Amino acid sequence: MAELARTFRLLNLEQKAAAVGAVLLAVSTFGPFSLVEVAEILVALGVLALLRARALGKRFHLPFGDGTVIAAAGAWAGALIVVRLFDRPLGQNLLALACAAILVLAGVRERAKRPPDDLPPEAGAPPPAPARERRPRPPAAEAPTEPLPPPEFEPYKPEEGEQLRLGGEESKPQPPGDA
């Protein structure tokens, strides 16, 4: 029991929520038992095995990351629960759906926290910067800049007999008498 408590303490908040959701999902299968409930228990055990391995520092690669796998497990469990919706009592179905929702939400939060294809950092290594964070800009005092010179501007001066124009088009002097 002490080992279980120590393992639980090593998990982050999202992983703890996923662990609680997986345990409750397994508990929600009590009652009428079929292959659907076996599949739900396998989903719960798979999530718990993943979380225990991460808590013990085991390094392995999952294609889309831990959060995506946990969210997919919750979605699959929810689909399995919907299949058996009318064969079990309403309260048991609601508990099971709530547990599947906890798994999905915990997986989505874990996915947002760590990018996909990301291995947990090694012990003693600094955590990597989040993928969405931009590099900090150097302070302005380090690289003084000079203001740009003003653009060269020459006001338009029409020639004798030339019609005023807005610019861009070439104007030709009009012969007197044309209107």
Q: Which residue has the tokens 């338009």?
A: 156
60 lies in some domain: yes
pLDDT at 115 (0 to 100): 65
State the average pLDDT over residues 61-85: 87
Tens of pLDDT, residues 26-38? 888 887 788 888 9
165 lies in some domain: no
158 lies in some domain: no
- What residues contact 14, with CB distance under 8 A and at least 6 apart? 67, 106, 107, 109, 110, 113
- Provide the domain count of the chain: 1
Residue 166 has pLDDT above 60, yes or no: yes
152 lies in some domain: no
70 lies in some domain: yes
Tens of pLDDT, residues 108-146? 888 888 766 555 555 555 555 554 555 565 555 566 678
- Determine what percent of the chain falls in helix, strand and coil, rounding each to the nearest 5: 50, 0, 50
pLDDT at 42 (0 to 100): 93
Give the type of residue at 125: A
Domain of residue 34, residue span: 13-113
18 lies in some domain: yes
135 lies in some domain: no
The pTM for the full model equals 0.60
